[in-house]
C-alpha cells in the first residue's frame, strides 16, 4: 500500500546522500560532524578497498591519518596457524565512536573490513580475516572525528591465499 509512494522519498534521500558525499569529497570541511559523516555514509568504499598499501587505504577511507592510542585494544593471536582464518577483535574505551576498520599491512589490498558504528552500538567488533603472510594488523577507531589506531604483528605459518 505505502510501498509505492514510499519509494520516492527513499530514492530522493539516497540521491541527496550521494550528492552530499560527493561534495564532501571535493572540499575538506573543517567540521568534526562532516568528517564523521564522510566515513559513516552508506556508500561502499570501493576505492579504499582497491588501495594496496595501508597508508593509501586509510587515506582513501578517511582522508586523514591516525595517531596510536592505548585506548584502542586490538586482540589478535601472536601466531596464526592458518592465515585463512585469523580471529581479530577490537574494543575501545573512546567515546563517540562512529566507525572501526581493520587493515592487514602485507595483504594484496590492505583494507580488510570497515564497520559503521551508529549511536547506541558498542565500539567493539570481532571478526575473522585472511592474512597472506606475517604482517602488522592495524585497527583504526574513528571517534569524535579523529582517528586512533592500534597495531599488532601476527605471525602466519600458513598463508591465507589458498594453495
Partner 1 sequence: MASSIRVRATANGDITEVQALIQHPMDTGLVKDSKGELIPAHYIQVLKFECNGKDVFVANWGTAVSKDPYVKFSFKGAKKGDDLKISWTDNKGGSDTTTAKIA
Query: Helix (H, G, I), strand (E, B), or coil: what is residue 157?
Result: coil
Which is closer to partner 1, CB of 30 or CB of 130?
130
Question: ∠67-70-73 over CA atoms, to 5°?
Answer: 105
Which distant-in-sequence residues (6+ apart) come within 8 Å of 110 by Cβ? 51, 52, 53, 54, 56, 57, 103, 104
**Looking at residue 139, what DSSP letter applies?**
E
Does 86 participate in binding partner 1 (rule CB under 8 A)?
yes
- If the CB atoms of residues 27 and 162 are measured against partner 1, the closer one turns out to be 162
Site string for partner 1, 90-119 (x = CB under 8 A): --------------x--xxx-xxxxxxxx-
The binder of partner 1 chosen from 38, 58, 80, 129 (CB under 8 A):
129
d(CA 13, CA 37): 15
Contact (Cβ atoms closer than 8 angstroms) between residue 135 and residue 86:
no
Q: Does position 55 bind partner 1 by CB under 8 A?
A: no
**Binding to partner 1 by residue 72, rule CB under 8 A?**
no
Q: Any contact of residue 45 with partner 1 (CB under 8 A)?
A: yes
Most distant CA pair in the chain, distance: 57
Binding residue for partner 1 (CB under 8 A) from 59, 96, 130, 146? Answer: 130
Least spacing, CB of residue 62 vs partner 1, in Å? 13
What is the chain's Cα-based Rg? Answer: 17
Q: Should residue 42 be labelled a site residue for partner 1 when binding is judged by CB under 8 A? A: yes
* Contacts with partner 1, residue ranges (CB under 8 A): 42, 44-45, 49, 84-86, 89, 104, 107-109, 111-118, 120-122, 124-131, 160-163
Amino acid at each position: 500500500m505505502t510501498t509505492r509512494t514510499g519509494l520516492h522519498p527513499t530514492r530522493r534521500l539516497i540521491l541527496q546522500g550521494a550528492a552530499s558525499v560527493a561534495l564532501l569529497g571535493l572540499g575538506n570541511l573543517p567540521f568534526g560532524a562532516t568528517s564523521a559523516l564522510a566515513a559513516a555514509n552508506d556508500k561502499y568504499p570501493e576505492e579504499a578497498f582497491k588501495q594496496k598499501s595501508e597508508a593509501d587505504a586509510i587515506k582513501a577511507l578517511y582522508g586523514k591519518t591516525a595517531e596510536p592510542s592505548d585506548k584502542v585494544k586490538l586482540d589478535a593471536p601472536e601466531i596464526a596457524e592458518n592465515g585463512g582464518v585469523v580471529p581479530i577483535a577490537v574494543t575501545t574505551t573512546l567515546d563517540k565512536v562512529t566507525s572501526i576498520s581493520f587493515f592487514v599491512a602485507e595483504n594484496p589490498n590492505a583494507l580488510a573490513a570497515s564497520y559503521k558504528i551508529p549511536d547506541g552500538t558498542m565500539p567493539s567488533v570481532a571478526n575473522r580475516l585472511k592474512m597472506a603472510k606475517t604482517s602488522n594488523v592495524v585497527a583504526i577507531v574513528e571517534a569524535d572525528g579523529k582517528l586512533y589506531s592500534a597495531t599488532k604483528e601476527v605471525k602466519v605459518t600458513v598463508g591465507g591465499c589458498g594453495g
